A and B are shown apart, each in its own frame.
Chain A
Amino acid sequence: MASKAVSDAEAPGMAGAPGAPGGPRSPEPPGSRLPHGAEGAGTGGKYVAPTVAGAAKILVVGPLGVGKTTLIGTVSEIEPLSTEAVMTQAGARVDTGGERTKRTTTVALDFGRMTLGDELVLYLFGTPGQQRFLPAWRDLAKGALGALALIDTRDLAASFDALGNLEDLGLPFAIAANVFPGSPRYPEDELRLALDLLPDTPLVACDAREHRSSVEALIALVRHLIDTATVTTQSSEQPR
């Protein structure tokens, strides 16, 4: 890969993240124990509002500890849930080390939900970035609108696998640099070079603990998806 670590350019710190409001926004009570009835329906309850006609999904990808679950928890109307994807073969060797190769292993995926308007619900799936998890991505990526790739500027190299996976899958994405205390702030062009980004791939800074900042990162992604879709439509105008 052409990417190399950005030189130790001194970070011209963008104004520090506004006083971090105590970690992830505390979500509404999940009400996940309710066995019956519509009392849980609507945003914040267990159930999706009955008016919702369809679901879409976006992947939130990145290395361990980059803030995927934090971002999902910040924007989700339900407390993030966790589930396990079963993964076969590839990478199992890495996990077990050595001869006794496991055939399957599982990878934990956290996800959250946003009801958008009356008819649409958006699911955000946090997907671990390591290359060995690529098999777990394939199904999940199927039908996804796109992906938000979170990076930590303190360890850019940790993001390379996730970006490679996205490129392999052909999933459109935007990059959000999650701002940690003491994160170096590189000039945008240096970051783009280090991450080997296409010129039209959005790159935004965000604070995954902040609602507005996280939603804005998602908006940057969706705007990019709209641009991409528009271009695709125009270039494929010819009937088959």
Chain B
Amino acid sequence: MSDGSPYRPDGQGFPPSPEGRTTSAVRPYVITGGRADAGAAPLSWESLVMAAETEVPATLQPEHRVILAHCQGLLSVAEVAAHLGQPPSVVQVLLADLRAWGLLVTRPPIPPAERADVSMLRKVLHGLESRL
């Protein structure tokens, strides 16, 4: 799945980080190093993510660190974004980094082939019916 470069303790696995930043706030894409897309296959808003059970490297950027702090259990990309108060498009980039470094595990959304799959829809139906 994640074919990105693994995290490297020397920090070379990281995107260029805006060094010497001292302002209290920066525009969102400064955080992502100007990258606006999360690579080939961005995580969809409903993808579930969770911090991997790996020690967090000391050199990790604060933005990535904050995300991991919010991901101590399963959460959707949209929830992570909402908790952070950042647009999902920004959070998708940071999550893709974390996944590439092996610091984040994901449970992808139901694959397209199964979406129209009747047995899956029945699961949703039964789930809803049990909520009545």
Q: Is B131 an interface residue (CB 8 A)?
A: yes
B73 near A48 (CB under 8 angstroms)? yes
**A232 vs B117: C-alpha distance in the bound complex, in angstroms?**
10
Interface size on A, residues (CB 8 A): 59
Q: Is B32 an interface residue (CB 8 A)?
A: no
**A78 vs B75: C-alpha distance in the bound complex, in angstroms?**
12
Given A55-B48, A85-B88, A117-B130, A125-B123 contact (CB < 8 Å): no
Using Cβ atoms and an 8 Å threshold, which residues of chain A touch B116? 229, 232-233
Pick the contact of A36: B72, B75, B126 (CB < 8 A): B72
Q: Is B98 an interface residue (CB 8 A)?
A: no
**A106 vs B48: C-alpha distance in the bound complex, in angstroms?**
24
Using Cβ atoms and an 8 Å threshold, which residues of chain B touch A46? 73, 75
Q: Is A53 an interface residue (CB 8 A)?
A: yes
A226 near B76 (CB under 8 angstroms)? no
Mask of A36-50 contacts with B, CB within 8 angstroms, 1/0: 111011000111111
Q: Is A81 an interface residue (CB 8 A)?
A: yes
Interface core residue of A86, A119, A125, A143 (most chain B CB under 10 Å)? A143
A55 near B109 (CB under 8 angstroms)? yes
B127 near A54 (CB under 8 angstroms)? no
> How far apart are B91's CB and chain A's nearest CB, in angstroms?
9
Q: Give the interface of A toward B (CB within 8 A).
A: 32, 34-38, 40-41, 45-50, 52-57, 75, 78, 81-86, 106, 111, 113-114, 116-117, 119-123, 125, 139-140, 142-143, 145, 211-212, 215-216, 218-219, 222-223, 225-226, 229-230, 232-233
Q: A83-B87, A219-B128 are in contact. List 12 more A-B contacts (CB 8 A).
A: A37-B72, A47-B75, A57-B45, A57-B46, A83-B81, A83-B82, A114-B127, A116-B123, A116-B124, A121-B76, A125-B78, A230-B118
* Sampled A-B contacts (18; CB under 8 Å): A36-B72, A40-B72, A50-B74, A56-B124, A57-B46, A57-B109, A81-B82, A83-B88, A123-B78, A139-B44, A143-B109, A143-B115, A145-B115, A215-B131, A219-B128, A222-B121, A222-B125, A226-B118
